[in-house]
Amino acid sequence: MNYQREYVFNEFQSMVFRVFDENIIRIEKLNADASDRKLFRIFTDNRSVIGVKNKHIKENLAFINFSERL
């Protein structure tokens, strides 16, 4: 695993463990639109969630708020 992938995995693992008390078993990168946002499907033994990585915090929050309304 390269440094950048390991960093992303560790960031998501920390959040997933804090929120769900579960470990990640797999991460798949998803196709994103033209923004800098990177999307990932994160799998644990019990669930699948979407992870968002982007240096623009406001854009991340807008994406999350939009997703919660669907």
Instruction: Return the closest-CA partner of residue 17 out of 36, 38, 44.
Output: 44
Tokens 């939009």 found at: 66
C-alpha to C-alpha distance for 32 and 57, rounded to whole angstroms: 16
Share of the chain above pLDDT 90, in %: 41
Instruction: Return the closest-CA partner of residue 7 out of 45, 53, 49.
Output: 53
Is the per-residue pLDDT at 70 higher than 80? no
Fold of 3-68: Double Stranded RNA Binding Domain (3.30.160)
Summarised one tens digit per residue, pLDDT across range 3-31 is 778 888 899 999 999 999 999 999 999 98
C-alpha to C-alpha distance for 2 and 62, rounded to whole angstroms: 29
